[in-house]
Amino acid sequence: MTERKDWWKWLLGLWILAVVWAAFFYAPTARGFKGESARIVFFHVPQAWVAVLAFCVNLVASLRYLRRHDALDDARAAAAARLGLVFCILATVTGSLFAHVMWNSFWNWDPREISIAILLLVYAAYFALREAIADEERRASLSAAYAVLAFVTMPFLVFVVPRIYFSLHPDTIINTKGSMDMESRMFQVLMASLMGFTGLFVWLYTLDVRAARIALARRRRQED
Amino acid sequence: MPAQESLFWVAAVTGVIWVGVFVYLVKLDRRIRRIEEGE
Amino acid sequence: MRASSLLSEGLAVLRKEITSELRSRVALNAIVLFAVTTLVTVAYQIGPYRIHEDDRPHLLSALLWIILFFAAMSGLSRVFVKEEDARTGKTLRLAARPGAVLLGKLLFNLMLTLALETVVVPLYCGLMGLAVRSPGGLALLLLGGGVALSASATIVAAIIARASGSGTLFTILSVPLILPLLVILIQGTGAAVTADGLSPVLPALRAIVSLAGVTLVASFYLFPVVWND
């Protein structure tokens, strides 16, 4: 990692370190929450955001695969799904910890908990499908098809179901009235953390894709 | 433990986790770059 | 012209499905046996009086959809797997366009689902003493739910027919796609049980119709890839 274009990775390292400091000492204690528990929001929300972002990247890569049948697009889709799974688990764990502190229960089938649990199930099903197919091209096109199918049904879960049910979950960043009521320093930290986590996702994703590209090139050379 | 002190420790653990992840990623990035240049 | 010929081709596939199903009756037997077994178990163990009056609408509609969902799951996956088992897939690929194949299989699964619902729902209402205050609303929910359920099940069946270990994989892949639908259906059925008229059912119905539409559009877009890979 000696190239000049890698400076942003070092910046990212410092940036997230600063976010960690700011999350605990710069942001004020949130009112209406038990103790300092609300600080977990600075990590929980970006993780959930990355899980959703990865889901979208997975969709784009899958659609591109269906159009061009390039093995690298399949690798892109798989990389995004892997990261999505990891961040989805992280968001579930941090959310569950917060629920335990606030409501004394790790899991209470809140609509948002259901939607993240189903996102987890989608990722798990996606990898179960990939495991079950030995032929590479078939694996790529079938998992791409499943990814598209899962993507079009997700909005119903995220937007329709929580509206039918009552939710304990604190308002998302922009609440139903379309206004933001968050203390400005907290908002700054949250935005900084969102940027940091997005950068981290980009780094992890490009690493995975680069490794996949090397593996593909090697396999092609062996076949020749 | 006073609240301020426990907050400090939580922050420290979070920071250490991130530094660990970061160092791992930098090493991984270097390894991949070496292979890319070798190919 | 093209649309109508696609329709007639799809109906031809449907006729072929019905003929072959009447010969073996694998899917029908699986679905009916599963539904009757669970229905009898639930009715015998819970019956009309075990659940408190206030909890009845919600719990009974949840139980109803659990029975319908798993009974449907046990039979709907056969529709593509059987082509792979009998090695008739190649012939079908030559004989009909992908769109027509999907249409025929989809209609066949829809028939199975609706048949399942017409048998199970009246029996369930009778055995559990469930009085539905909006039968029209319930009928619409069953129809819309049947379409959405068979649409998801058919495309997933097409995907898993090309992968190994199809049986378990079918449920694993279907659950995340169908769970939102089930949640909405259970809510809607609870509303149809407790309130008169169609208006309480409408929000659920609207969500179900759009979910079914989205699934159908995605299915017809994706199916050629899945079928001809």
- DSSP for chain C reads -HHHHHHHHHHHHHHHHHHHHHHH-HHHHHHHHHHHHHHHHHHHHTTTTSS-GGGHHHHHHHHHHHHHHHHHHHHHTHHHHHHHHHT-HHHHHHHS-HHHHHHHHHHHHHHHHHHHHHHHHHHHHHHHT---S-HHHHHHHHHHHHHHHHHHHHHHHHHHHTSSSHHHHHHHHHHHHHHHHHHHHHHHHHHHHHS-SSGGGHHHHHHHHHHHHHHHHHHHHHHHHHHH-
8-state DSSP, A54 = H
pLDDT of residue A164: 57
Q: Which of B10, B11, B18 sits opposite A16 (nearest CB)?
A: B18
Q: How far apart are CA A209 and CA A214, in angstroms?
A: 9
pLDDT of residue C1: 47
Residue listed under structure tokens 């366009």: C97
State what percent of residues in chain A have pLDDT above 90: 44
pLDDT tier at A194, thresholds 50, 70, 90: very high
pLDDT of residue C26: 82
A145 vs C175: CB contact, 8 Å cut-off?
A: no
Other C-beta atoms closer than 10 Å to the C-beta of A184 total 9
Residues A56-75, mean pLDDT to the nearest whole number = 94
Answer whether B30 touches A (CB < 8 Å).
Answer: yes
Do A92 and A119 touch, CB atoms closer than 8 A?
A: no
Q: Which of B36, C102, C208, C2 is nearest to A214 (CA)?
A: B36
State what percent of residues in chain C have pLDDT above 90: 39
Contacts of A36 in chain B (CB under 8 A): 3, 7
Q: How far apart are CA B12 and CA B18, in angstroms?
A: 10
Answer whether B12 touches A (CB < 8 Å).
Answer: no
**What subunits touch chain B, counting only 3 or more CB pairs under 8 A?**
A
Residues A155-163, mean pLDDT to the nearest whole number = 66
> Is pLDDT larger for residue A161 or for residue A63?
A63
* CA-derived radius of gyration, chain C: 18
> Is pLDDT larger for residue A193 or for residue C84?
A193
pLDDT tier at A177, thresholds 50, 70, 90: very low
What pLDDT, in 10s, does the model give residues C164-195? Answer: 766 788 888 998 899 889 988 998 999 898 88
* CA-derived radius of gyration, chain B: 17
ipTM of the complex: 0.87
CA distances for C120 relative to A66, B25, C34, C142, angstroms: 40, 56, 11, 11
Contacts of B35 in chain A (CB under 8 A): 214
Residues A180-185, mean pLDDT to the nearest whole number = 68
Residue burial C110-143, b: 16+ Cβ < 10 Å; e: rest: bbbbeebbebbbeebbebbebebebeebbbbbbb
> Is pLDDT larger for residue A5 or for residue C131?
C131
Q: Which of B19, B26, B39 sits opposite A1 (nearest CB)?
A: B26
pLDDT of residue C92: 86
Asked if residue A37 has pLDDT above 80, the reply is no
B25 vs A16: CB contact, 8 Å cut-off?
A: no
Residues C189-211, mean pLDDT to the nearest whole number = 88
Q: Which of C171, C165, C144, C158 is nearest to C72 (CA)?
A: C171
What pLDDT, in 10s, does the model give residues C97-130? Answer: 889 999 999 999 999 999 999 999 999 998 888 8
* Of the ranges C27-31, C38-42, C213-217, the best mean pLDDT one: C213-217
pLDDT of residue C224: 92
Asked if residue A163 has pLDDT above 90, the reply is no
What pLDDT, in 10s, does the model give residues A102-144? Answer: 888 888 777 777 778 888 999 999 999 999 998 889 999 999 9
Q: Largest Cα–Cα distance in chain A?
A: 65
pLDDT of residue B3: 67
Q: How far apart are CA A165 and CA A153, in angstroms?
A: 18
Asked if residue A159 has pLDDT above 70, the reply is no
8-state DSSP, A174 = S
Residue listed under structure tokens 């062996």: A222
Other C-beta atoms closer than 10 Å to the C-beta of A78 total 23
Q: Which of A211, A76, A3 is nearest to B35 (CA)?
A: A211
pLDDT of residue C112: 93
Instruction: Give me the amino acid identity at C190.
Output: G
> Is pLDDT larger for residue C49 or for residue A90?
A90
> Is pLDDT larger for residue A158 or for residue A154?
A154
Answer whether C162 touches A (CB < 8 Å).
Answer: yes
State what percent of residues in chain C have pLDDT above 70: 98
Nearest CA in chain A to C179: A118
Residues A76-99, mean pLDDT to the nearest whole number = 93
pLDDT of residue B38: 83
Q: Which of C47, C84, C42, C87 is nearest to C65 (CA)?
A: C42
CA distances for A132 relative to C143, C177, C226, angstroms: 33, 19, 15
For the four alpha carbons of A61, A62, A63 and A66, in that order, the dihedral sign comes to: positive
Q: How far apart are CA C1 and CA C8, in angstroms?
A: 11
Contacts of A20 in chain B (CB under 8 A): 11, 14-15, 18
Other C-beta atoms closer than 10 Å to the C-beta of A201 total 21
What pLDDT, in 10s, does the model give residues B1-36? Answer: 456 778 888 889 999 999 999 999 999 999 999 998
